[in-house]
């Protein structure tokens, strides 16, 4: 059945106008697109939106949102089966290392997504995560085009297994948010991330500021060109404060015990 499907796709390829994108998507995902428009949209950055025949302007942010959720689920399932004896904190930390913006951006660059993304020049220079964002949008497109089973296969085989050394990954902890979450779980402390400000820089790129609240107390805040980046920066500052500010650390643990 798969051979027949591929044969039909190859025959269609002779008559379609988007041959380059069609072949490119197959090379990355292992599947021929059924709806090529989804993949076109996945490569449209908000800085240079695409006008639909209806006159409405659109970009890849909705697909990015969907792909982010699918990635989280697939990676969580993969790690759950890969490490049957590990606790929840370990699984959360390891998942965060895979889906963090830096990791996805690295994979996106390996896929050469930047050579296909439709974006304004100033956005590509300021938004260092444009490849990672496009990768999430691509995952969303595969999910809508081929369903969960094939999308899961693409993520596991083409993203996780080809671009991550899982054994090495679990030995290295560079994700500040996951480390902070593990600390709060260890001491049974509540943690909350609150978006406190959103503004645009001079090139109209959004900049987010997030505060991290530990045991009901403000710990630190951080900024970034994505919410995830602001979470990471806030978490790093919070970890530094927990190490250096003994009074703050004792107050957090005291409030947690009283709660």
Q: How confident is the model at residue 125 (pLDDT cuts 50, 70, 90)?
A: very low
Given a cut of 70, is residue 1 above it in pLDDT? no
Domain boundary among 136, 169, 202: 169
Given a cut of 70, is residue 257 above it in pLDDT? no
Q: Is the pTM of this model over 0.85?
A: no
Can 68 be counted among the known catalytic residues? yes
Given a cut of 90, is residue 259 above it in pLDDT? no
Together in a domain, 107 and 191: no
Mean pLDDT in residue range 10-23: 69
For residue range 135-176, list pLDDT tens digits in order: 999 999 999 999 999 999 999 999 999 999 998 887 665 578
Domain that holds residue 217: 177-258
Together in a domain, 71 and 155: yes
Together in a domain, 43 and 159: yes
Mean pLDDT in residue range 175-202: 90
Can 136 be counted among the known catalytic residues? yes
Which of the residue ranges 2-11, 126-135, 153-162 has the most confident prediction, judged by mean pLDDT?
153-162
Together in a domain, 160 and 57: yes
Which CATH number belongs to the domain containing residue 251 in this structure? 3.30.160.20
Together in a domain, 153 and 185: no
- Measured in degrees and rounded to the nearest 5, phi and psi for residue 67 equal -60, -35
The whole-number pLDDT of residue 12 equals 60
Q: How many CB atoms lie within 10 A of CB 2?
A: 7
For residue range 184-195, list pLDDT tens digits in order: 998 899 999 999
Mean pLDDT in residue range 78-100: 87
Q: What is the mean pLDDT of the chain?
A: 86
* Domain tally, the chain: 2
The whole-number pLDDT of residue 17 equals 66
Together in a domain, 155 and 51: yes
Which residue among 72, 77, 114, 136 is the active-site one?
A: 136
Between 209 and 227, the higher pLDDT residue: 209
Dist. CA 243–CA 229, nearest whole Å: 21
Which residue among 64, 68, 182, 229 is the active-site one?
A: 68
């Amino acid at each position: 059945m798969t051979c027949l499907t591929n044969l039909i796709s190859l025959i269609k390829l002779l008559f379609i106008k988007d041959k380059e994108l069609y072949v490119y998507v197959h090379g990355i995902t292992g599947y021929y697109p059924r709806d090529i428009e989804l993949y076109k949209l996945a490569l449209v950055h908000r800085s240079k939106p695409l006008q639909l025949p209806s006159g409405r302007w659109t970009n890849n942010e909705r697909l990015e949102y969907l792909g982010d959720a699918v990635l989280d689920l697939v990676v969580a399932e993969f790690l759950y089966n890969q490490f049957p004896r590990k606790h929840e904190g370990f699984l959360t930390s390891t998942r965060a290392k895979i889906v963090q913006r830096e990791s996805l951006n690295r994979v996106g660059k390996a896929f050469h997504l930047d050579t296909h993304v439709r974006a304004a020049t100033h956005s590509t220079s300021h938004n260092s995560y444009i490849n990672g964002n496009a990768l999430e949008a691509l995952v969303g497109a595969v999910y809508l085009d081929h369903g969960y089973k094939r999308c899961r296969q693409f993520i596991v085989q083409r993203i996780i297994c080809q671009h991550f050394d899982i054994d090495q990954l679990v030995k290295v902890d560079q994700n500040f948010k996951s480390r902070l979450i593990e600390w709060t779980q260890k001491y049974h402390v509540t943690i909350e991330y609150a978006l406190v400000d959103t503004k645009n820089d001079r090139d109209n790129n959004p900049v987010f500021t997030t505060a991290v609240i530990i045991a009901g107390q403000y710990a630190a805040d951080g900024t970034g060109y994505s919410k995830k980046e602001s979470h990471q920066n806030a978490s790093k500052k919070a970890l530094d404060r927990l190490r250096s500010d003994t009074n703050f650390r004792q107050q957090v643990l005291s409030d947690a015990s009283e709660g």
